[in-house]
Amino acid sequence: MGVLGETSGGNHGRCRLGLLRRFARNRDGVTAIEFAFLGLPFFLLIFAILESCIAFAAQELLSNATDDVARRFRTGQIKVEDNIDEQKLRQMICDRISILVSNSCPGLAVDLQQFDTFEDAARAATSFNEDGSIKTKVDPGPALTKNMLRVYYHWPIVTNRLAQTLPDGTMLLFASMTWQNEPF
């Protein structure tokens, strides 16, 4: 028995050994194999970066919408007498963020409350219902009262599983504005 794999009586083993050597030396298709191994993580990273950028833009859009609606309350363009309820307030915010979310704004919650002092507003914690949803109410104050508007939106996450997400696969975007109404 001379060459590894050679059987007595033939070149069959030598042929197999030669075929294995040629296969090991052949570099055709190496790029395709490397791309297959590296392509998926690369594209997941690219999509996660893009999704993070879009979520950041949505957060800024939500902050701007909150500021805009709060300004309307602060200056008296919207008053207590206008009987603003939660649905109307949600719609005002939704109209301003509809460029990035669907028209019905699923996952949007608004909370507008009046406080005696700014310290009371700063200490006001977000409360949750038994089902995990955010407790909200709409109670705007008259002229010269302190008010706080908090807006929450459940932003869906697709690729960025490393971020802190809620059990339903969303990230909670949040915007808040505290002010004192003008003497209107």
- Alpha-carbon distance of 169 to 155, in angstroms, equals 9
Answer with the residue of higher pLDDT: 29 or 98: 98
The sign one gets for the Cα dihedral 80, 81, 86, 90 is negative
- Alpha-carbon distance of 176 to 153, in angstroms, equals 12
**pLDDT confidence of residue 145:** 96
**Helix axis angle, 30-74 relative to 86-97, nearest 10°?**
130
Provide the whole-model pTM.
0.78
Read off the pLDDT of each residue in 118-132 and give the average, rounded to a whole number.
90
**Is pLDDT at 163 greater than 70 in this prediction?**
no
* Widest Cα–Cα separation across the chain: 108
User: What DSSP letter does each residue of 16-82 carry, written as one string?
Assistant: HHHHHHHHHH--TTHHHHHHHHHHHHHHHHHHHHHHHHHHHHHHHHHHHHHHHHHHHHHTTSS-GGG
**Is pLDDT at 131 greater than 60 in this prediction?**
yes
**pLDDT confidence of residue 15:** 81
Q: What is the pLDDT of residues 105-117, one digit of tens each?
A: 999 999 999 999 9
**pLDDT confidence of residue 162:** 56
**pLDDT confidence of residue 17:** 80
